[in-house]
Structure 1
Amino acid sequence: MVIDVLNFITNSLNRKLIILFLVMSSIPLIGVSLYANSFAGDSLEIQVENQLTSEALNRNNAINNLFSMRLEQTTSLSYSDSVHAVTLGSENMDSNKFELVMNNFQSSIGFGNGVNSISLINKEGQIVYNSLGKSEMYLENTEFERGLQESFVMLKEYDGSRVISTITPIFDENNGNEMIGVLNVNYSPEILDEILLNREGLGESGEVYLVSYDGLMLTPSRFSEGLEFNQIANTEPVKVCKSNGQKMTGAYPDYRDILIFGTSVCNDQYGFATLAEIDVAELEAPTTALSQVIILSVISSQSIIVVLAFIISKRISKPISDASKIIKTISEGDLDVIIKESKSKDEVGVLTNSIKTMTENIQQLIGNTRDSAMSVNASAIGSKTAITQISAASQETATAMGGIAKGAMDIVGKSHNIAESITNVSESISDLSHKTTAVNDLVKNVLQTSEEGIKLTHNADTKMTEIIESNKKASSMVESFVKQSEAVNSFVDSIKGIASQTNLLALNAAVEAARAGESGRGFAVVASEVRRLAQSSAKSADEIAVTVDAFKGATESTLESIQDEQEKINEGKTIIDETLQSFQKTVEDIKKISSNVDTISTNTKEQLPLIGEIKSEIDEIDSISNSNASAVEQISSATEETAAGSEEILSSMDELTDNSKTLEDEVRKFKLPKSLSVET
């Protein structure tokens, strides 16, 4: 499945360009998005941490101030003489004054919302006064014993209510500051609850509460009622405070077993931890929303990029794809293609126009070659017919010369019968004259045909020269394509150099940004992106170089094909040149035959007027007959040589016909446009 997908992508330049655009745009976009999301999450976490830490510290300080104030108020009451008198059980105690002091104290603080109860306990542990009328001892021994030694504040339950319990020793200044008892004032926790339950700066799920070092929840929860002094909240920050007194910030399960992000302040003086917490879900909500926005932005931008990439890649890949299809069609021998001229001035446009020019030149070259091959083939067939006729005529001439030679020998052998046969000789000479004239005419016709063959061969040779020149031009153009490919490679090398220099500059910028520290972080990100883009540019340049090399290889292959065709054309020209030489030799031989036939014809005609003198010059007949026999033998020999030369010419013409037919068949494999086609 993966291989099929990869093949589907790699088999199309358009799809590869779209994927390349998509990857190149996705890497920086996703990188920046991830960085922005991470940076926003970290920033939000730091902001929340600072906010919670500030809230915990401020509220812990407010609680310390509240406790200190309550302890000071209790201590100031312990200095009252009426309190001393009641504690000591003095008989001189003025109860009205004591009640007035208590009422004034409660009024100054606020009864109910301020003071919950006031108790005086003598040093024997007996309650001598309780504002609520309680008489039973309610303080634990450790609390009472500590109250005899020092003043302190604690949170506890008293009479079913939460109170801020302040305990301070009572000293009698009149008896040398003798410790005479303990004053216990329980204050309402209303102000404490207002401090802790204030939701300002805590969001929707945040809260601040107190937990004792024993893990007991001391203050109300925002989410549930009645948890104070009932809920165990021995969470991780409480354990850390109890073990080493160090604050803790981080995510952990709270008393509800919900994952929260919180911070703690350890209050060793009062033995509790102040916890400020917020639900992790609320903390991560902005980051989650930002992530969703980023994802939607990435999807939207990628959709736009895909559309733009499709449009751009289509504009780039379509001319290349069309050129590739045309070149493939040409490589299969189909030259019946029409290439539109590109108006673009870029490399793709130049390539398209160059392929258009090359195709037109090849079409013209193949058309001319086919026409020339057909012309050569037709001329060769015509020459072959003429040579066949010459050969037949030579055979007839040789036969005729044989008859003449036999007659001459009979004349020599039968000279004594010459007189009787003079009439027959006269007729034979007359017949010989007619035949010689016919042979002479035939030889002249053959000579004329041969000269026309020479002209046709000259024309074929000229056409072959034009074909060679056209082929050389095509070869030069293809070599120019190779050089242009090398120029593109040089341009790609320049791109690689620029990308490498940009990469180095980006690296230097990143180093300088690192030296700048926090202030250079943004520049470091930009430098990193520039470096990544430089590396991507270098990679794209490598891919372009591979594509150009592939085109260069195809062009060089085309050049080799043209050069191979050049060799075949040169061979055809050589054959035509050899044929021309054979024709010229044939013409020379025919001219000799014509000269000899003219001589025979002249001699024969000269014999006719002298036929009457033969009888008187019988003695000379033998000599004349011998001369005639010798001449006939020479003519016969020349005729036989002419026949042999004709056979050689005929063999050469057969070879020329085969070669021209082969060339024509090879050229016919190419399919030309109708405008360049010929009727066959």
Structure 2
Amino acid sequence: MKIGVRTKLVIYFLVISIIPLTVVTVFSTISLQNSYTDDRLEQLEATGINKASLIETWFFERKGDADFLSRTPTIEDQGLAAGTYGDPNRDHAREEIEILMGEMIEIYGTYNEMYFLNTSGIIVAQKSASGWTKGHSLGSDQSSKDYFTMCDAQSTDVGFTYLSDFRMSSNGEYIQITASSVVHTHEGAYIGVLVFYIDSTFIDELMHVTEGLGTSGETYLINQELEWLTTSKFDYYTEEKDYATIEDTILTETISTKGIVECLAAQADLKKASNPDYRGIAVMGSYHYLKVSDDGRAWVLIAEIDVSEALTVPTNLMWVSIVIMIIAVGIIVVFAFIISQRFTKPFVQLDKVIGASTEVSVNVSNIATELAASSSEVNAAAEEIASTTQEVAMNTQNQVNSLIEINKMANEISAFSHEVMASTKDINKIMDLITNISDQTNLLAL
């Protein structure tokens, strides 16, 4: 297929213009996407770090509250009497301690229940928050609970406090996490353990604060067993897993996405530009390794956002760039076509002349070939005519010779004919004579 000069110039314009434009567009898009990815990961990391710090601080304050209450004069003065069966001041001491607990629950608003255990692990004073119906009863034995055993083992340490991990209550009705502290008298004698049941609503609400993370961004806590410690912001589990409420997933449903597993394995913070979350959706995330509780069990604080939303701006810009590039290509094509028309016309005409000359040359060559072939045919015909002429000449000579012979024979025949005619006259005379004789004979016969 023959490509004209104008078409070639248009193609050259396109190649020269499109290749740099495409390279710049692709490079810019990739750079922008990488930049947005880095920015989003830094934002997620900052969100995770801030919330991790808040969680650590908040639980540290809860331990501080327990330590503070254990050192109040009321607890130090009344604790021994409240925890000693048969002591005449036992009921009064219990009431004093419970009043102090009630005031603290109301002021702080972060505790569902408080109780005081004597050195045997028996509840001797107890107070529940208003509306909390799952409180413990006086006289309940808690000597096997870790919050008692850990403090009892450190009974000589006046400042010892213990924060337990999230766990399901013994009756399976609610999630509990406790802060406990050893209690001593003014004289330093160990008299029991003070236990706070922490309301974890603050942690769950903190995880659901996702300002700046868009509609798909979320943060949540997972424990070392890969179980949920806070709730998801989405209704995935209630719709796909048939849970009655999202709260039912806590300490029940497990999640083992790549970022969480790697964070626990490395025991360090890490970031992921993309990995499937528990819904199977590609997310970018920041994963923070935490050790808040005193039982040595780790948590992972996750801050994630859907990749599609995180990269909305560069994705939109990419499509805009593609549209612009298509428009630019169209403009380049039109411009190249106009330029080629204005500046390539002489070349096009020259190309036509060259083409015509080439065609004429080809035609002349063809004619020369045909003439050469015709010349050969003429030569052959001339030779044949010469041969034929020679044959005709010979035949003519032969005919002339034959005519001469025929003429001679005709002359001879003519002479013979004259002789015959003369003889015929003689015969006629004889016949007349015979006829006369016959007539005379007939007459004689009559």
Q: How many Å separate the matches in 2 of 1:41 and 1:162?
A: 42
Q: Could you give the per-residue CA deviations for residues 246-288 of structure 1, whole angstroms, max 9, x where no partner exists?
A: 1111122222232211111111233211111111221233232
Q: Which residue pairs with 2:123 in the alignment?
A: 127
Give secondary structure in 1 for the equivalent of 2:44.
Answer: helix
Q: Which residue pairs with 2:186 in the alignment?
A: 173
Q: Could you give the per-residue CA deviations for residues 93-130 of structure 1, whole angstroms, max 9, x where no partner exists?
A: 324422321222222213xxx22011222332322233
Q: Could you give the per-residue CA deviations for residues 436-472 of structure 1, whole angstroms, max 9, x where no partner exists?
A: xxxxxxxxxxxxxxxxxxxxxxxxxxxxxxxxxxxxx
Q: How many Å separate the matches in 1 of 2:97 and 2:359?
A: 124
Q: Which residue pairs with 1:144 in the alignment?
A: 148
| TM-score, length of structure 1 as denominator length | 0.45
Contact (CA 8 Å) 1:115, 1:185: kept in 2 or not?
A: yes
Give secondary structure in 2 for the equivalent of 1:173.
Answer: coil
- Structure 2 CA distance for partners of 1:133 and 1:144, relative to 1, 3 Å: closer
Q: Counterparts of 1:317-336 in structure 2 under 5 Å?
A: 317-330=344-357
Letter in 1 for 2:63: L
Letter in 2 for 1:244: A
Give secondary structure in 1 for the equivalent of 2:166.
Answer: strand
CA RMSD of aligned residues (A): 2.3
- Structure 2 CA distance for partners of 1:330 and 1:209, relative to 1, 3 Å: closer
Contact (CA 8 Å) 2:97, 2:125: kept in 1 or not?
A: no
Contact (CA 8 Å) 2:49, 2:288: kept in 1 or not?
A: yes
Letter in 2 for 1:269: V
2:223 to 212, 224, 227: 212
Q: Which residue pairs with 1:58 in the alignment?
A: 50
- Structure 2 CA distance for partners of 1:333 and 1:217, relative to 1, 3 Å: closer
Q: Does 1:298 pair with 2:325? A: yes
Give secondary structure in 1 for the equivalent of 2:234.
Answer: coil
Identity of aligned residues (%): 27
Q: How many Å separate the matches in 2 of 1:83 and 1:104?
A: 17
Q: How many Å separate the matches in 2 of 1:83 and 1:210?
A: 37
Q: How far is the alpha carbon of 1:302 from its aligned partner?
A: 0.5
Q: How many Å separate the matches in 1 of 2:224 and 2:314?
A: 34
Q: Counterparts of 1:580-591 in structure 2 under 5 Å?
A: none
Give secondary structure in 2 for the equivalent of 1:277.
Answer: strand
- Structure 2 CA distance for partners of 1:66 and 1:314, relative to 1, 3 Å: same
Q: How many Å separate the matches in 1 of 2:258 and 2:352?
A: 73
Q: How far is the alpha carbon of 1:138 from its aligned partner?
A: 6.0
Q: How many Å separate the matches in 2 of 1:54 and 1:129?
A: 43
Q: How far is the alpha carbon of 1:17 from its aligned partner?
A: 1.0
- Structure 2 CA distance for partners of 1:333 and 1:238, relative to 1, 3 Å: closer
Letter in 2 for 1:144: F
Q: Counterparts of 1:90-239 in structure 2 under 5 Å?
A: 90-93=87-90, 94=92, 95-110=94-109, 114-131=110-127, 132-134=135-137, 135-137=139-141, 141-148=145-152, 149=154, 150-153=160-163, 154-158=165-169, 160-174=173-187, 176-178=188-190, 180-224=191-235, 225-226=246-247, 227-239=249-261
Q: Could you give the per-residue CA deviations for residues 631-675 of structure 1, whole angstroms, max 9, x where no partner exists?
A: xxxxxxxxxxxxxxxxxxxxxxxxxxxxxxxxxxxxxxxxxxxxx
Q: How far is the alpha carbon of 1:298 from its aligned partner?
A: 0.7
Give secondary structure in 1 for the equivalent of 2:230.
Answer: coil
Q: How far is the alpha carbon of 1:163 from its aligned partner?
A: 4.1
- Structure 2 CA distance for partners of 1:331 and 1:52, relative to 1, 3 Å: closer
- Structure 2 CA distance for partners of 1:84 and 1:285, relative to 1, 3 Å: farther
Q: How many Å separate the matches in 2 of 1:139 and 1:249?
A: 43
Q: Does 1:288 pair with 2:311? A: no
- Point out where structure 2 has 5 or more consecutive residues left out of the alignment: 128-134, 155-159, 236-245, 362-446
Q: How far is the alpha carbon of 1:133 from its aligned partner?
A: 4.2
Q: How far is the alpha carbon of 1:137 from its aligned partner?
A: 4.3
Q: Could you give the per-residue CA deviations for residues 579-618 of structure 1, whole angstroms, max 9, x where no partner exists?
A: xxxxxxxxxxxxxxxxxxxxxxxxxxxxxxxxxxxxxxxx
Q: Could you give the per-residue CA deviations for residues 489-530 of structure 1, whole angstroms, max 9, x where no partner exists?
A: xxxxxxxxxxxxxxxxxxxxxxxxxxxxxxxxxxxxxxxxxx
- Structure 2 CA distance for partners of 1:293 and 1:70, relative to 1, 3 Å: same
Letter in 1 for 2:207: L
Q: How many Å separate the matches in 1 of 2:144 and 2:226?
A: 20
Q: How many Å separate the matches in 2 of 1:121 and 1:37?
A: 65
**Structure 1: 4+ residue segments shifted above 6 A:** none
Q: How many Å separate the matches in 1 of 2:146 and 2:116?
A: 17
Q: How far is the alpha carbon of 1:218 from its aligned partner?
A: 0.3
Q: How many Å separate the matches in 1 of 2:262 and 2:209?
A: 26
Q: How far is the alpha carbon of 1:51 from its aligned partner?
A: 0.2
Contact (CA 8 Å) 2:228, 2:252: kept in 1 or not?
A: yes
- Structure 2 CA distance for partners of 1:155 and 1:20, relative to 1, 3 Å: same
- Structure 2 CA distance for partners of 1:308 and 1:103, relative to 1, 3 Å: same
Give secondary structure in 1 for the equivalent of 2:68.
Answer: helix
Contact (CA 8 Å) 1:245, 1:268: kept in 2 or not?
A: no
Give secondary structure in 2 for the equivalent of 1:260.
Answer: strand
Q: How far is the alpha carbon of 1:203 from its aligned partner?
A: 1.3
Q: How many Å separate the matches in 2 of 1:311 and 1:140?
A: 92
Q: How far is the alpha carbon of 1:84 from its aligned partner?
A: 4.3
Q: Counterparts of 1:383-462 in structure 2 under 5 Å?
A: none
Q: Could you give the per-residue CA deviations for residues 193-230 of structure 1, whole angstroms, max 9, x where no partner exists?
A: 23211111211101111111111110111013222222
Give secondary structure in 2 for the equivalent of 1:313.
Answer: helix
Contact (CA 8 Å) 1:213, 1:239: kept in 2 or not?
A: no
- Structure 2 CA distance for partners of 1:216 and 1:177, relative to 1, 3 Å: same
Q: How many Å separate the matches in 2 of 1:187 and 1:141?
A: 16
Letter in 1 for 2:189: N
Q: How many Å separate the matches in 1 of 2:60 and 2:325?
A: 57
- Structure 2 CA distance for partners of 1:139 and 1:216, relative to 1, 3 Å: farther
Contact (CA 8 Å) 1:266, 1:273: kept in 2 or not?
A: yes
| The structure with more helix, counted as a fraction of residues | 1
Q: How many Å separate the matches in 1 of 2:208 and 2:108?
A: 22
Q: How far is the alpha carbon of 1:64 from its aligned partner?
A: 1.0
Contact (CA 8 Å) 1:232, 1:255: kept in 2 or not?
A: no
Q: How far is the alpha carbon of 1:40 from its aligned partner?
A: 0.7
| TM-score, length of structure 2 as denominator length | 0.67
Q: How many Å separate the matches in 2 of 1:54 and 1:306?
A: 49
Q: Does 1:257 pair with 2:261? A: no
Q: How far is the alpha carbon of 1:143 from its aligned partner?
A: 4.1
Q: Counterparts of 1:584-603 in structure 2 under 5 Å?
A: none
- Structure 2 CA distance for partners of 1:123 and 1:138, relative to 1, 3 Å: closer
Letter in 1 for 2:149: E
Q: How many Å separate the matches in 1 of 2:341 and 2:126?
A: 96
Letter in 2 for 1:151: T
Count of residues in correspondence between the two structures: 321
Between 271-280 and 248-257, report the one with greater CA deviation: 248-257
Q: Which residue pairs with 1:24 in the alignment?
A: 16
Give secondary structure in 2 for the equivalent of 1:266.
Answer: strand
Give secondary structure in 1 for the equivalent of 2:302.
Answer: strand
Q: How many Å separate the matches in 2 of 1:241 and 1:29?
A: 42
| The structure with more strand, counted as a fraction of residues | 2
